[in-house]
Amino acid sequence: MMEEEIEEKKGRIRIEEKLKRYEKIDFLGEGQFATVYKALDVETKQIVAVKKIKLGSREEARDGINRTALREIKLLQEVHHPNLIGLFDVFGYKSNVSLVFDFMDTDLEVIIKDTDNIILTPSNIKAYILQTLRGLEFLHLHWILHRDLKPNNLLVNAEGVLKIGDFGLARFFGSPNRQYSHQVVTRWYRSPELLFGARSYGTGVDMWAVGCILAEMLVRCPYFPGDSDLDQLTRIFTALGTPTDDNWKTLAAMLLRLEIAMGRFLMVGEPAICTLNSQPVHYGIGAGAGVVVRHGRLVR
């Protein structure tokens, strides 16, 4: 019992040291699950960002960390690249877990929206996209899908260095039979296969998002601001053309599977006896192609 008490006391001392190490300078923002502060690391004299995650339940608090934070920590501890946000430290206190990151002055969403004060030249756009693609290439080479690329997750410092942040939805990929959620990526940056409900997909979902971000930097507003998944698809097909069997080989098979699935659920006659587990609908759509811009016109 004495040993346990000693270890517990040591743990409390370590946490107190952590709390003293990072001196809060400014409040940066607050979301549903986390609060972010600008802080000074008194040991290194470096400015950092501290993301304090609120644990959502007693069980999570007892375990010490929630699933989303654990996923982000695990990934960021394994990958290191100049264009990926750096994770320096992790510690828990009461019902919170704090992650210590690179401090970044702004994000791409702020830059895009500030049309009064910021001019985005072709060179600026090229530099931001190149850095995004370098970070993304590193992730994909390490079998990681980000799955939530959007302008406010692309962080930029005062020197113009861009780093990809927010890995809460990131996943390792590569298993041919592995199924993923299609409810990823903010709708405006979501590829057609995700909008159709695909559960098997690859790096194309990230590349599509990069294409949408590139278009947004050029026109200084979201290019596909859909109000619903159907509206999103309509906007995409209006701008890029409706896909055909020639340019989307798996489209017909996907639509057939959707039709069969609808028939299984919408039956007239005897009451259907089924559960979600008895209706395994796998759409099997291939990864979407990235959008590129040529002479001011979006093409596939």
Per-residue pLDDT, averaged over 167-181, amounts to: 71
Q: What is the mean pLDDT of the chain?
A: 79
Q: Is the pLDDT of residue 261 over 90?
A: no
Positions annotated as catalytic residues are 148
Is residue 20 annotated as involved in ligand binding? Answer: no
Range in 43-57, 192-206, 282-296 with the lowest mean pLDDT: 282-296
Is residue 64 annotated as involved in ligand binding? Answer: no
| Helix/strand/coil percent split, the chain, to 5 | 40, 20, 40
Partner residues linked to 40 by β-bridges: 23, 47
pLDDT in tens, 44-56: 999 999 998 887 6
- Mapping DSSP to helix (H, G, I), strand (E, B) and coil, where does residue 144 land? strand
Q: If you average pLDDT over each of 72-76, 152-156, 247-251, which comes out highest?
A: 152-156
- C-alpha 283/C-alpha 181 separation (Å) is 12
Is residue 30 annotated as involved in ligand binding? Answer: yes
CB 156 within 8 A of CB 107: yes
Domains (ranges, CATH) in the chain?
Answer: 9-102 (3.30.200.20), 106-249+288-299 (1.10.510.10)
Is residue 52 annotated as involved in ligand binding? Answer: yes
In one-letter notation, the amino acid at residue 48 is V
Is residue 29 annotated as involved in ligand binding? Answer: yes
pLDDT in tens, 127-159: 999 999 999 999 999 999 999 999 999 999 999
- C-alpha 229/C-alpha 298 separation (Å) is 20
